[in-house]
Amino acid sequence: MRFGVWVSVALCLAVCQVAASTYDNEGRMVPTPEELDIMLPENKRRTLQETLLEARWAEDVKSALTRRWNPSGSYGPSNVACPALPEGSNYQGYIRNALNNELGPQEQDYLTRHRNQTRSGWQDWLSRAQLDGNGGIDGGVEQFLSQHQPVVGFAVSGGGYRAMLHGMGVAQGFDGRNDTANQRGVGGLLQLADYFAGLSGGSWCTGSMAINNWATAQDMLAYLNLEQNLVLPEDGKTKLYIDLFRDTDDKKDAGYPTAITDFWGRALSYHLLNRSTFPNEGQATTFSDIVNATNFKNAAYPFPIALAIGRQPSEVMINPNATYFEWNPYEFGSWQPNFEAFVPTGYVGSDLNNGEVASKDKTCVAGFENFGFVVGSSSTLFNAAYLQLLNSNSTKISSEIIKSILSDLSNEKNDVAAVPNPFKGYAPNGDGNNNHFLTSDYVDLVDGGEANQNIPFEPLIQKARDVDLILAVDGSGDTSNWPNGSSLVETEKRMNLSMFSSLKFPRVPDMNTFVNQGLNTRPTFFGCQAQGTNVNNTPPIVAYMPSYPYSYFSNKSTYQLEYKTSDAQSFVDNSVDVATMGGKMDDWHTCLACAIVQRGLLRTNKAFPEKCQTCYTKYCWNGEYNTTTPGNYTPPIGLPEFITSNGSVLTEPPVTGSNESSGSAVDSFFGDGAASLSEGVPRTLALAALTTVTAAFALL
Ligand SMILES: *[C@@H]1O[C@H](CO)[C@@H](O)[C@H](O)[C@H]1NC(C)=O
Ligand SMILES: *[C@@H]1O[C@H](CO)[C@@H](O)[C@H](O)[C@H]1NC(C)=O
Ligand SMILES: *[C@@H]1O[C@H](CO)[C@@H](O)[C@H](O)[C@H]1NC(C)=O
Ligand SMILES: *[C@@H]1O[C@H](CO)[C@@H](O)[C@H](O)[C@H]1NC(C)=O
Ligand SMILES: *[C@@H]1O[C@H](CO)[C@@H](O)[C@H](O)[C@H]1NC(C)=O
Ligand SMILES: *[C@@H]1O[C@H](CO)[C@@H](O)[C@H](O)[C@H]1NC(C)=O
Ligand SMILES: *[C@@H]1O[C@H](CO)[C@@H](O)[C@H](O)[C@H]1NC(C)=O
Ligand SMILES: *[C@@H]1O[C@H](CO)[C@@H](O)[C@H](O)[C@H]1NC(C)=O
Ligand SMILES: *[C@@H]1O[C@H](CO)[C@@H](O)[C@H](O)[C@H]1NC(C)=O
Ligand SMILES: *[C@@H]1O[C@H](CO)[C@@H](O)[C@H](O)[C@H]1NC(C)=O
Ligand SMILES: *[C@@H]1O[C@H](CO)[C@@H](O)[C@H](O)[C@H]1NC(C)=O
Ligand SMILES: *[C@@H]1O[C@H](CO)[C@@H](O)[C@H](O)[C@H]1NC(C)=O
């Protein structure tokens, strides 16, 4: 019955709608009414509801005439012959047991090839940073590199399009193809880096760059089509929803649960994939298709990773010890201590038990890990918001319509991305207690930011990857939609738990100190002081790169789903300034290089060069606290005081006299024409449409 199964979500919606805070009473993040307005103003929600109705009807008529499901080339996963079983004592069927802290063999091969190529680039980059020769590294850069080549990872935070644009802009500021980046010294680091991880909005950045053959941010702006609202484009909205219904129908017909994540992921694909390269807006494009990009084949760019959280079965609340799952082009799995298991990404969706094929016909499944679904699985935060849009201010009639439309989707799975559990029946070390998903049919993935650890450190602090420095690209919206260090604090909280004692993360101060000392206004290094006697026990250095208004107020709402082209450009340019400190700090390149080599110097028992000592004093957190509750954090446009004072002033920026109020984002993005839209749809029209739909359903 199409009308019967919407009760639990409807209940949630009732709760969600009254909740004024950003969490519902089960601990899930939900948008405030203001945020919902930014996502889609009230007068457009009716249009959204109508569009769904029209599209569902059109799609049902079409599918009633022909059963179109075609196992290949569609969004629906298909059965395929299983690949050869991997060989080696650390495999259980298709599951790679990573308890030995090793990389997957394909990632290892990628890194070996990549690092072989970047050797000469490092030589150049570190020499340009003046670390060669007098006052530089003892014995010179070349000798240093022969002993230890740095390992650098980018970690791009969540925060919707805001975080994506910040990640793109920072990447552009480090991109060796960009003149501004090169003139300001730090260009080329993007190509030298070994990893590029993203979470939620950050995974849109990571995924889009990697699958589009590492397009520059500048070129990406041309295909992202951000002027069109993600959930309600001005052009072709009905076609969008017909496609979404067709795709979810295909997946459902193939026997898989479908949910809002499928809608959301498909809508993302309309933007994140270059339409000229990916047919049908990536309907059949998978995340593992990244391996087919030329720059990936050549191992020319960092290894991309998208991060999500596996919600513990029978729990809704996400705890600090949550199990993170990563998607990389080769493997899907988790580094959670004592679980540490991975399966091939391309075959996720296959029915496995203890790593062995469990389907009756002994086939495997391909095409489950659709590109949009994977980056959507990292950003399920938007599921609740989307449901609220559909249901908000609804009359009894429109809510019935929505129920009828959405009852095709699995109501229990609407706040998650459900992945058929590849780790079912798998007991690492013979101990099932380490696998919280031992008996689950699905791994329910939720937004990587749900544990408030909004920066994807997890994949980069693993011993297997041995990263020396993490560029923590923070576009979080903590206070006035600016970051305030909370992601680092929350990650430290996790790392303080005894189960993670084998992992190392640098000490960071509380959020008040972050704000009072302006540590969130400019690049700050953490972990400089941690010079344990045993380098294996030393955490990576975290180079914190928070968003800041050099030239543009880039603190837009997480829920803003459309940007004018000129705004997106200003945003990216501003984040280029964040990466390059506006080109105003002569020693930025040298000091970043000092942080990058610091771990290698420890490993190779070399003294810290003198100019690095100055850098460490200047850019590292000095270990001091100021836990006073700060005033409102509303920085004005301009250079942070850290720069204007050449690093001598550590202070909270002045409160802005900005003319931008929190409401203006909505006005500037929806002002034009929004008011002229007719107030809602006549009820009779809705009613007539409902009748038509019901009639159409009755035909099936
Ligand atoms: C390493 O790079 C050099 C050229 O820079 C190339 O000749 C060699 O084959 C590469 N080795 C590997 C293992 O890729
Ligand atoms: C998009 O795809 C077309 C066709 O493959 C290509 O010419 C163009 O350069 C691509 N754009 C970007 C930004 O990658
Ligand atoms: C990569 O391309 C080849 C050849 O077009 C194709 O057979 C293969 O399936 C692709 N790999 C993935 C993971 O899509
Ligand atoms: C996290 O900790 C709680 C309570 O300490 C425990 O019940 C739960 O199983 C842990 N979860 C994971 C994924 O380890
Ligand atoms: C519902 O929407 C109408 C028109 O869009 C508006 O006038 C009315 O105030 C809204 N009601 C609620 C409860 O938000
Ligand atoms: C920092 O942001 C968090 C939300 O992420 C907020 O709870 C906290 O109050 C903020 N603290 C400061 C000092 O801005
Ligand atoms: C982590 O542990 C240290 C040492 O016990 C403590 O000082 C610090 O406050 C803890 N951090 C968090 C975020 O709880
Ligand atoms: C601590 O921070 C408060 C608020 O920003 C500031 O007024 C005070 O001067 C700071 N104290 C010190 C010792 O820097
Ligand atoms: C380099 O970055 C600047 C600043 O964002 C941008 O204006 C310019 O177009 C970029 N150049 C290229 C070639 O991408
Ligand atoms: C953005 O930050 C400015 C000050 O830095 C503040 O005045 C404004 O309200 C913020 N906007 C949003 C949408 O949070
Ligand atoms: C800024 O400070 C550094 C040392 O931290 C010094 O070497 C440099 O000359 C100073 N630059 C200016 C313009 O004062
Ligand atoms: C208003 O804000 C813009 C940046 O958004 C700035 O360029 C302009 O100077 C501001 N105007 C006033 C009067 O503060």
Which protein residues are within 6 Å of ligand 12, measured from CB? 553, 637, 659-660
Which protein residues are within 6 Å of ligand 6, measured from CB? 478-479, 484, 486, 511-512, 515, 630, 633
Substitution site in 311, 314, 319 for ligand 4 pocket (most atoms within 8 Å of beta carbon): 319
Q: Which two tokens stand for residue 325?
A: 């799952």
CA neighbor of 218 nearest in space, from 551, 572, 554, 474: 572
User: How far, in Å, is the centroid of ligand 3 from the Cα of 289?
Assistant: 7
Question: What digits encode the pLDDT tens for the residues 233-243?
Answer: 998 899 999 99
Q: Which residue has the higher pLDDT, 610 or 156?
A: 156
Query: What domain range is 152 assigned to?
Result: 111-200+455-551+564-648
CA neighbor of 436 nearest in space, from 361, 338, 301: 338
Check residue 26 and give its pLDDT: 65
Query: Which residue's entry shows tokens 């791009």?
Result: 156
Chain-centroid distance, C-alpha 345: 17
Confidence of residue 673 (pLDDT cuts 50, 70, 90): very low
Is residue 231 within 8 Å of residue 266, measured between CB atoms?
no
Q: How far apart are CA 108 and CA 97, in angstroms?
A: 15
Check residue 394 and give its pLDDT: 62
Ligand nearest to the CA of 500: 4
Helix H, strand E, coil C: the string for 137-157 is CCCHHHHHHHHCCCCEEEEEC
Q: How far apart are CA 418 and CA 414, in angstroms?
A: 9
116 ligand 1 Cβ < 6 A? yes
Ligand nearest to the CA of 615: 11
Is 593 domain-assigned?
yes
> What value does the mean pLDDT take over residues 641-665?
74
CA neighbor of 560 nearest in space, from 39, 158, 167, 44: 39
Is 217 domain-assigned?
no
Substitution site in 157, 450, 480, 484 for ligand 6 pocket (most atoms within 8 Å of beta carbon): 484
Which protein residues are within 6 Å of ligand 5, measured from CB? 42-43, 393, 679-680
CA neighbor of 539 nearest in space, from 465, 431, 487: 465
Q: What are phi and psi of 79, to 5 degrees?
A: -80, 135
What are the start-end ranges of the E strands in 457-516?
469-474
Whose CA is closest to atom 7 on ligand 2?
Answer: 276
User: How far, in Å, is the centroid of ligand 6 from the Cα of 86?
Assistant: 47
Ligand nearest to the CA of 588: 11
Q: ∠23-25-29 over CA atoms, to 5°?
A: 25
Residue 396 has pLDDT above 90, yes or no: no
Q: How far apart are CA 168 and CA 579, in angstroms?
A: 11
User: How far, in Å, is the centroid of ligand 1 from the Cα of 115?
Assistant: 10
Give the least confident one: 123-127, 432-436, 645-649.
432-436
Residue 612 has pLDDT above 80, yes or no: yes
Percent of the chain with pLDDT over 90: 69
Check residue 46 and give its pLDDT: 85
User: How far, in Å, is the centroid of ligand 10 from the Cα of 658?
Assistant: 8
Is 507 domain-assigned?
yes
Give the side-chain half-sphere CA count within 13 A for 110. 24
Q: How far apart are CA 315 and CA 467, in angstroms?
A: 33
Distances in Å between the Cα of 94 and the Cα atoms of 106, 112, 255, 561 are: 14, 24, 22, 39
Is 261 domain-assigned?
no
Is residue 609 within 8 Å of residue 524, measured between CB atoms?
no
Which protein residues are within 6 Å of ligand 4, measured from CB? 312, 319, 321, 323, 436
Whose CA is closest to atom 14 on ligand 5?
Answer: 393
Residue 452 alpha carbon, nearest atom of ligand 6: 5
Confidence of residue 179 (pLDDT cuts 50, 70, 90): very high
Ligand nearest to the CA of 479: 6
Check residue 59 and give its pLDDT: 81
Give the least confident one: 144-158, 335-349, 608-622, 651-665.
651-665
Give the least confident one: 130-134, 617-621, 670-674.
670-674
Is residue 655 within 8 Å of residue 593, measured between CB atoms?
no
Most confident of 332-336, 671-675, 677-681, 683-687: 332-336
* Average per-residue pLDDT for the chain: 87
- Host H or E run for residue 543: strand 541-546
Check residue 529 and give its pLDDT: 76
Give the least confident one: 147-161, 640-654, 656-670.
656-670
Check residue 385 and give its pLDDT: 83
Give the least confident one: 21-30, 195-204, 549-558, 601-610.
21-30
Check residue 662 and give its pLDDT: 39
User: How far, in Å, is the centroid of ligand 4 from the Cα of 322?
Assistant: 7
CA neighbor of 474 nearest in space, from 575, 614, 343, 573: 575
Residue 323 alpha carbon, nearest atom of ligand 4: 13
Task: Please state the domain count of the chain.
Answer: 1
User: How far, in Å, is the centroid of ligand 7 from the Cα of 458?
Assistant: 18
Q: How far apart are CA 656 and CA 109, in angstroms?
A: 50
Distances in Å between the Cα of 593 and the Cα atoms of 112, 116, 598 are: 22, 19, 8
User: How far, in Å, is the centroid of ligand 5 from the Cα of 54?
Assistant: 22
Query: Which residue's entry shows tokens 């499901």?
Result: 69
Is 301 domain-assigned?
no
User: How far, in Å, is the centroid of ligand 10 from the Cα of 665?
Assistant: 9
Q: Which two tokens stand for residue 146?
A: 């022969």
Is 633 domain-assigned?
yes
Residue 290 alpha carbon, nearest atom of ligand 3: 13
Check residue 163 and give its pLDDT: 98
Question: Could you give the angle at which helices 160-173 and 217-224 cross, rounded to 10 degrees?
Answer: 150
Check residue 430 and give its pLDDT: 78
Whose CA is closest to atom 8 on ligand 1?
Answer: 116
> What value does the mean pLDDT take over residues 362-384?
91
Q: Which residue has the higher pLDDT, 600 or 683?
A: 600
> What value does the mean pLDDT take over residues 46-68?
78
Q: Which residue has the higher pLDDT, 27 or 532?
A: 27
Check residue 597 and give its pLDDT: 97
Residue 489 alpha carbon, nearest atom of ligand 7: 13
> End-to-end CA distance of the chain, in Å?
12
- Strand, coil or helix: 420: strand
Is 659 domain-assigned?
no
Amino acid letter for position 473: V
* Number of helices followed by number of strands (H, E) in the chain: 24, 17
Kindly report the number of other CB atoms within 10 A of residue 662's CB atom: 12
User: How far, in Å, is the centroid of ligand 12 from the Cα of 669?
Assistant: 17
Distances in Å between the Cα of 37 and the Cα atoms of 206, 381, 397 are: 28, 16, 22
- What global pTM score does this model have? 0.90
492 ligand 7 Cβ < 6 A? yes
User: How far, in Å, is the centroid of ligand 11 from the Cα of 646?
Assistant: 6
Q: How far apart are CA 244 and CA 491, in angstroms?
A: 36
Whose CA is closest to atom 14 on ligand 1?
Answer: 113
- CA Rg value for the chain: 25
> What value does the mean pLDDT take over residues 45-57?
87
Check residue 614 and give its pLDDT: 94
Is residue 539 within 8 Å of residue 461, measured between CB atoms?
yes
Residue 555 alpha carbon, nearest atom of ligand 10: 1
Q: How far apart are CA 106 and CA 600, in angstroms?
A: 25
Is 468 domain-assigned?
yes
User: How far, in Å, is the centroid of ligand 9 from the Cα of 216?
Assistant: 9
